[in-house]
Amino acid sequence: MSIVNSLLKSTPKISRLLLTLLMTSTASMAISTVSLADTINRNFTVSFGTQTISAPVRVSSVHPIVSKMVSLPAVNCGSCRGNINDYTYSVEWVSDQAYLDVERTNLIASNGGGGSQVWVFRPSAYTTGAVRNIETMIRHKGSIGGTNCDPLSLSNDFYQCKLTNKNGNAFPAIELEVGLLIIGNDVQPGDISTLDRELLSRVVTFKKGDVEIAKYKDVVKVMGNTTLASCNVNSGSLIFNLPARSINVVGDHNLYDVKSQAPSDAVRRELRLTCVGNTELNIQFTPMTGTTDGDKILQAKKSDGTNSSVGFQLWFNSSEWPGTGNDKLVKWDSQVTSLLPQATLSTPRPASAPDIIVNFKASYAIKPGTNLSASDAGAIVAKGMYTLSYQ
């Protein structure tokens, strides 16, 4: 005889991360001889698509959970005529100092090797809500300006790397990595928008002698949205194969009577849920083959599809419930039961118990007053559905 609990139906809050990088380049002309042809307008968009931040959270102060490369194209001075040695250029990388995470910026730079340029921005720079422990990183792996890059400065100026008075009328393309850092387990997602802020700018200025010929500014901005997926479930279907039992047609039926606690020989199964940031975690049960004795017994079917006089009872408990011996009898009425205690689920989970465990126990049962007969012998199957909802 067997009981099947199937068709997991999770309804999680969908965890999405959409991060878009916008870079626009505009030119400001310093003298009247610069023509409109020298104005460069370039727009670049990098989309990460849908990104799920799920348990266990990958916390790192150095390595982003997701990143992509984007190229800032070369800057050429269209008005710089004649000998290129008559011209010089300067390059400044201007960061928003109000929201630059200096400590983490230096940490990543020191782990990236000599000449690596990196900027990390706190979430307060670009969020409309209480985003926590999610920071934006922009990095160039290598020296942005070559060997002639002036000393790094973070505290006294508005740039990290500055090149001054270098000969030439063009500045090469730069490859940047843009990513998200999760810097703590207690993650709070939210909307991201930097459209009203300039987190990072590349400013290239061309001169002939002391006269400014043209200036180009590439602005890096970030926009998107982040949410968390609350739980990962290790199993979809639970199958209980109960051992055979003899039907004593005229004898005592206590073995099958409805019980308030699971018998010692009940068949056990468990679900493991890896969760993060939960405020709710609920379960409900729906019969698929009917019930008897109200909502206490799951109706079983014989091999010919007719109802059996013998059904099944199911108990469950959550590892988050306080105390022991706290099995609950499943009521097949779709009522919602919380698997969490009154307090919000702690994050991070303790290393000794990283998962939430839901234990199940199944046994035979008959409705009180039922008369069994030889026709009730044989294989029987019952089906029910459990639904997990969480956020």
Q: Please check the confidence at residue 19 and state whether its pLDDT lies above 60.
A: no
Which structural domain, as residue segments, surrounds residue 208?
17-226
For residue 105, give every residue at least 6 positions away whose Cβ sits within 8 Å of its Cβ, in sequence order, or none: 118, 119, 120, 154
Last residue of a domain, one of 210, 226, 242: 226
Same structural domain for residues 143 and 290? no
Last residue of a domain, one of 188, 204, 226: 226
Same structural domain for residues 218 and 234? no
CB-CB neighbours of 207 under 10 Å: 19
Over range 151-175, report the average pLDDT: 65
* 19-33, 156-170, 213-227, 362-376, range with the lowest pLDDT: 19-33
pLDDT in tens, 181-218: 888 877 776 666 665 677 788 888 888 888 888 888 88
Last residue of a domain, one of 226, 261, 288: 226
Q: Please check the confidence at residue 147 and state whether its pLDDT lies above 70.
A: no
- pLDDT for the residue numbered 43: 63
Q: 251-286 burial by CB neighbour count: b if 16+ within 10 A, else e?
A: eebebbebbeebeeebbebebebbbbbbeebbbbbe
pLDDT confidence of 132, banded at 50, 70, 90?
confident
- pLDDT for the residue numbered 24: 36
Same structural domain for residues 54 and 87? yes
More confident residue, 283 or 28: 283
Report the predicted TM-score, pTM, of the whole model to 2 decimal places: 0.58
CATH number for the domain harbouring residue 302? 2.60.40
- pLDDT for the residue numbered 64: 86
pLDDT confidence of 26, banded at 50, 70, 90?
very low
Same structural domain for residues 95 and 187? yes
The per-residue pLDDT of the chain, averaged, comes to 73
Task: Find the DSSP H helices in 148-249.
Answer: none
Percent share of the chain, pLDDT over 90 = 13
Question: Would you list the DSSP string of 217-232?
Answer: EEEEEEEEEE-B--EE
Same structural domain for residues 256 and 174? no
Over range 250-257, report the average pLDDT: 52
Same structural domain for residues 26 and 134? yes
Same structural domain for residues 138 and 199? yes
Burial class of residue 193 (count of CB atoms within 10 Å of its CB; 0-12, 13-18, 19+): middle
Task: Provide the 3-class DSSP secondary structure of residue 216.
Answer: strand
pLDDT in tens, 51-95: 667 666 778 888 888 888 888 888 888 788 888 888 888 888 888
Domain count across the chain: 2
- pLDDT for the residue numbered 270: 92
pLDDT confidence of 39, banded at 50, 70, 90?
low
- Distance CA(135)–CA(101), nearest Å, equals 9
pLDDT in tens, 305-324: 999 988 999 999 988 887 76
- pLDDT for the residue numbered 29: 35
Same structural domain for residues 368 and 322? yes
Same structural domain for residues 7 and 35? no
User: Would you call the peptide bond into 189 cis, given omega within 30 degrees of 0 as the criterion?
Assistant: no
According to DSSP, residue 100 is labeled B
Q: Please check the confidence at residue 152 and state whether its pLDDT lies above 60.
A: no
Same structural domain for residues 202 and 283? no
Over range 4-16, report the average pLDDT: 36
Q: Please check the confidence at residue 237 and state whether its pLDDT lies above 90.
A: no
Same structural domain for residues 244 and 220? no
Same structural domain for residues 263 and 365? yes
